[in-house]
Chains A and B, each alone.
Chain A
Amino acid sequence: MTLPIETPLRELLAIPLGIIFGVLLHRGGVTDYNVIVNQFRLKDFTVAKIMFAAIVVGGAGVLMLHKLGYAQYHIKPANLLGVSLGATLFGIGMVLYGYCPGTGLAAVATGSLHALSGVVGMLAGGALYALTFPWVEAKIQSVGQLGKVTVPELTNIPGGAWFLLLSLVLAVVLYQDRNKTSVEQKP
């Protein structure tokens, strides 16, 4: 695997790219505990809106870059038990902590001290995973291995068609949201 940009320029670019990521997280409001927890309480859909727009815009662009030969895909393997069990823990933990790893770190930088307590917890969680890694690999990650499979491969529907569909959904959501907020925001 040859990388488009080799070290040390890659490492140098990490900081400005990370800064853009951090600014977007803060401006989007997801460094705020209340915004994230209220998503899971179904009272504030900011998190879902940000993620969905990122997936559609990012995915359509990366698909095009991939077709033109400018980007490689990095598909994570679908180990059914590991992904499902891990995602369940992640969802529970995210509600208790109020952040995911990225937003938690960003929240610390905006002055959230309880987010810092959670970062210490995340480091402990990482260590706990490292200590149990051989067991998890043998007993959990080995169950239901489908490999690095994508939805287009599985459904025989090309990626372009999926993004057309997702874009339509996004367009409808945007239109509905626009109508709703314009009615609500009249003073």
Chain B
Amino acid sequence: MKNELLAGNGPVISSRKRTATKAVEGQHITPASPLYRNPYVIGAGLGVLSWIVFAVVNQPLGTSTSLSAASGACAALFVGWDEVFKNAYWTKHPATWDYGSLFLIGTMLGAFLSAFASGSFRIEKVPKVWSQGFGHSTTVRFVAAFVGGIIVMYGARMAGGCTSGHGISGALQLALSSWIFLAVMFIAGIASALLLFRKLNQRKGSGL
């Protein structure tokens, strides 16, 4: 039992080794201030950001509409814009440099600046929990992320939004669709996590 626990800790130690050079002691995020680490403060910040976005640009927070529209631009690289605009969805949501897509550029910029400023920018190929459950193969992790990405986006478009559009913006407007999305998403997510990581859960016992 003890040996199993030690074996389960293997990848943790190796990930510590990797990050030790940056003196972050195995932690993925090194916030500039403990205040930032508080999830309630972060959530309140997202809430205040929603006030601004609703009042100033008259738009809810959202990610998946613009990201899926960008798939039209990618498709255009292969089949040309004429073919893309024969499609009803891409005509309805054309890939343009509008507010939504520029917001995504800003999101990436913000995350980069924050990671860079706090010294937590690092190349990650296989994350810790994944490697504990499925090993260190980069190929396996990349294929899983790719397939997961397809399912996430297809689901987001079918539901009409993602964690930001439904989960935050929609839920804060008390939209029925968004609360259904939140409930079903969490139930499906928890069920698949328990299933996907069942071996890891067994190996580590209760693990809490």
Contacts and interface: CB of A to CB of B under 8 A. Distances in A.
A107 B152 CA distance: 15
Interface in A133-162: 133-134, 136, 140-141, 146, 148-152, 154, 159, 162
**Chain A interface size, under 10 / 10 to 19 / 20 to 34 / 35 or more:** 35 or more
Contact of A111 (B121, B146, B165): B121
A109 B58 contact: no
B146 A109 contact: no
Given A18-B105, A24-B42, A95 B192 contact: yes
B28 A124 contact: no
The DSSP consensus for interface residues of chain B is helix
Contacts of A104: 149, 152
B12 to A, nearest CB: 11
A91 B184 contact: yes
Given A86-B159, A90-B156, A151 B123 contact: no
Given A51-B171, A61-B50, A88-B155, 9 more contacts: A27-B31, A40-B192, A41-B201, A59-B172, A62-B51, A87-B180, A97-B144, A109-B109, A109-B111
Interface of A: 1, 3-5, 10-11, 13-29, 31-35, 37-43, 45-46, 49-59, 61-62, 65, 70-80, 82-115, 117-131, 133-134, 136, 140-141, 146, 148-152, 154, 159, 162, 170, 174, 177
Interface of B: 28-29, 31, 36-37, 39-61, 63-64, 67-72, 74-75, 87-90, 97-100, 102-115, 118, 120-130, 138, 141-194, 196-197, 201, 207-208
